[in-house]
Structure 1
Amino acid sequence: MSDQERQIQALHGQIEDLKEEMYQLKLDISTLEKEKGKPVLTPALVGQIGGFVLGGLAIIGIFWM
């Protein structure tokens, strides 16, 4: 086997390794994109929800009689 043939085989092995890494990266990217869409409870959002609850209780309290 000549030196060039060994180099070509080594390159084919590297190409296969790179294909596997690309596949894994694509899976990681798709996982991250799915997680990005999930809502996150930020302090501002918690404050807004609390404000709505307190506002609702105030309105109920006004008409409770």
Structure 2
Amino acid sequence: MELTVEELRQRGWIVLECLSGSRAYGLDTPTSDTDLKGVFILPEAEFYGLDYVPQVQNATNDEVYYELR
């Protein structure tokens, strides 16, 4: 199963989301990007299936979400 960050949001599977990187530490500059980290929970069918997804990230790795397990 190939999931995207947008799909996690649309399905309501994200249970924790927070800022990370320079913005979280107050070290950002006007050109800094926004880094997000978080946790999501897969539904039972996906969790126990053959397509378990431990991590989902966007193309630039600025947003990374981990499955709670």
- TM-score, normalised to structure 1, is 0.17
- TM-score, normalised to structure 2, is 0.16
Higher relative contact order (CA 8 A, sep 6+): 2
More helix, by proportion = 1
More strand, by proportion = 2
